[in-house]
Structure 1
Amino acid sequence: MGDDAPAALVEIVRRWADDPSLLVQRAAVAAICEPRLLKAEGAAAVAVDLCGRCTLHLVGLPLAERAGSDARTLRQALGYAWSVAVAADPGPGLGAFRDLDTSDPDVGWIVKENLRKKRLARLL
């Protein structure tokens, strides 16, 4: 769908990013943070925005919920997706990535994982 109807994909993932289900949020991040899809106009900016929104949703959860498997699945997706989104749109992407609050343990883990990715290391 992302190849054939990128505007429709963007519309869907924007809705999914604010779904109460962490697995639906994870699906939004995974769907948009596919490198070949981020070449479509505006898709990279959407990916950066979605990574930010889903990160905020994750840290907005009570700590007990963050220990669950759904939260872990979303956190792992964000541990990969931020670097993909930032690499596709470095200008605003790097700013958004650098603004993440690493004092939160989950955000710190997400940032650490993304910093291990060569695509992000090249930009930094």
Structure 2
Amino acid sequence: MKALYKVLEEIKKYKELLADIRELDFKIEEYEENFIRDSKSMPDIKSSKTNNVKSMVQMALENKENLLMQKAKKKMRLKRIDNALSILSDEERDIIQIVYIDCKRYCMVQEKLNLSYQRIKQLEKQAAGKMEKYIFINE
């Protein structure tokens, strides 16, 4: 039961992951713009300051690489969720989408799918069980 709860908690983060990826894109873009602007405004460098500039450039590249790695990890989590959702029946996917991704109440699912609360909970548990192996592959 704990594993199923863990799956549903990961699904709840779907929209947050999308927003995080967009935010990382903004940071990377901002970082590149600032780096280009700053590099154009650097005065001619004498040889004694070359190491300092190299270390600044190295730090800038490492920071950008760190942002790209964070983005790649979040994109992979999102792909795993999408993959897991793809194996569900239409009813199961609708339940997960409405309750966990769209953060709506169960009554919305009842209304849309014309199912009882008990049946929705049963399908939800079934869906979480199917998705577990696709979301937490390395665990």
**TM-score normalised over the length of structure 1:** 0.29
Structure with bigger helix share is 2
Structure of greater Rg: 2
Q: Which has the higher contact order (CA 8 A, sep 6+)?
A: 2
TM-score normalised by length of structure 2: 0.27
